[in-house]
Amino acid sequence: MIKAISLRLLSAVGLLWGVVTLSFILIHFAPGDPISSLVGENGGASPEFVARLRAQYGLDQPIISQYGIYLGHLLRGDLGYSIRFQTPVWDLFRERLPATLLLLVTSIVVFSIFGMIAGVYSATRAGSLGDSAIRILSVLAFSLPVFWFAQLLIALFSVKLHLFPVFGMHSLFVRPGLWNSVRDVAWHVVLPAIALGAWHMAVTQRFVRTSLIQVLHEDYIRTAMAKGVSRRAILMHHAMRNALLPVVTITGISFGTMLTGATLTEIVFGWPGLGRLILDGVLGRDRPLIIGLLLISALLTIVVDALTDVIHGLLDPRIRAGRHR
C-alpha cells in the first residue's frame, strides 16, 4: 500500500513538473510579449520604460534563468505575479475557483444522474422506440460543440423566451437574504450547466446502457431471477452496482474534457470562473497566469483521478481484496 501511494505521488510530481516545463517553453516561444500587451501595442511607451518593466518582471534574462527562478518560487508555493492584473496568481485563482467548481460539480452530478436514468431506461427497454429516441438524442448531445450549443441556449431561453439570464453569475438587483442570493445563483447556473453537462449526460447514458445490458446477461443475474427475486430488486441491488463502475471511470477520465468545456462555457456566458481568467491571460500574454492556471488544472485532474480510484474501491470489493493481498 505504502509503495503504491509513493509511486502515485512520484508520478503526480513528475506530471506536474512536465506540465510546468512544457508550458513554460511553449509560452516563451509563442508570438507576443506581455510587456507590449501591458503598455500597448502601438509602441507609445519609451524604450527605457519598456526595458525597466522587462527587468522588473525578469523578462530580460535568458530562458534558463527565468525557468530556474520560476521553479524556485514554485517550490515555495508561489505561483508568480500576474502581469496583466498586477496581483499574485494564487489570489486570482482562489477568487475564481469557487465559481468554476460550482459549475463543474453541478454539471457532473446532475447530468450524471440524468444520464444514468436514461441509460437504465434504454437498457431495460433495449430495441424499443424510447430506447431509439434516447440514443439519437445522446448522439446529438455528444456531437454538439459546447460553445455553439451554449449560444443556442442563450438565443432560445434567454433572448426569445426570457426564462433565464444571459450573462454572469449574479443579478444586479437581488433582495437581501441568503435564500434570495442562493436562488439567484441557481437561476444563473441553469443554462451554463446544461451547455456543459449535455455532453457528459450523453456519454454516461451510453456507458450505463452498454454496461447494464452486459451485466443483465451474467450468470449471477440469471441465478437471482431463477430464485424468484423481483426484477426491480435485481436491477437495484445487483446489476446497478456493477454497472456504476464504468460511470465512475468515464467521469474521472472526462474531467479534463469537462474542465476545457467549462472554459468555453464560462466565456460564452460571462461566468466569473477560471475560464474567463485563462482567456484574459492569453489575450494579455500573461505567462505567470497561464502557467499557474495550467498547473492548477493538472493538479485538479490528478486529484479527481485519485478520487476515482477510491470510489472504485468502495464500489468493487474485488479491488479492496486485491489491495490487502
Q: Give Cα separations from 325 to 26, 145, 167, 315 (angstroms).
A: 45, 46, 54, 18
> First CA to last CA across the chain, in angstroms?
10
Residue 3 lies inside a defined structural domain of this protein: no
Distance CA 208, CA 249 (A): 11
Q: Do residues 206 and 199 lie in contact, with contact meaning Cβ atoms separated by under 8 Å?
A: no
- Whether 170 is in a domain gets the answer yes
Report pLDDT for 229: 72
Provide DSSP, 82-142: ETTTTEEHHHHHHHHHHHHHHHHHHHHHHHHHHHHHHHHHHHHTTTSHHHHHHHHHHHHHH
185 — alpha (psi -120 to 50), left (phi > 0) or beta?
alpha
Q: What's the domain range around 210?
A: 96-283
Residue 130 lies in a domain: yes
Cβ proximity of 208 and 119 under 8 Å: yes
Q: In the chain, which residues have pLDDT < 70?
A: 1, 4, 40-45, 236-243, 315-325
Q: Can you give the pLDDT at residue 238? A: 65
Per-residue confidence (pLDDT) for residue 133, from 0 to 100? 92
Residue 171 counted as domain residue: yes
| CA neighbor of 204 nearest in space, from 239, 242, 147, 246 | 246
Grid coordinates representing 207 are 456507458
Q: Mind listing the pLDDT tens digit for each residue in 283-318? A: 878 888 888 888 888 888 888 888 877 777 776 655
Query: How far is Cα 22 from Cα 55, in angstroms, rounded to an integer?
Result: 24
Give the other-Cβ count within 10 Å of 100's Cβ.
24
* Confidence at residue 192, expressed as pLDDT on a 0 to 100 scale: 92
Which pLDDT does position 193 carry in this prediction?
92
Outline where DSSP puts E strands in the chain: 81-82, 87-88
Distance, CA of 245 to CA of 314 (rounded, Å): 10
How many domains are there within the chain?
A: 1
CATH number at residue 265: 1.10.3720.10
Residue 79 backbone dihedrals phi, psi, to 5 degrees: -85, 0
Q: All 3 cell numbers of residue 20?
A: 510546468
Q: Does residue 167 lie within any of the structural domains?
A: yes
pTM confidence score: 0.80
Any domain includes 267: yes
φ and ψ of 87, to 5 deg: -145, 145
The verdict on residue 84 lying in a domain is no
309 in any annotated domain: no
Q: What is the per-residue pLDDT for 251?
A: 79
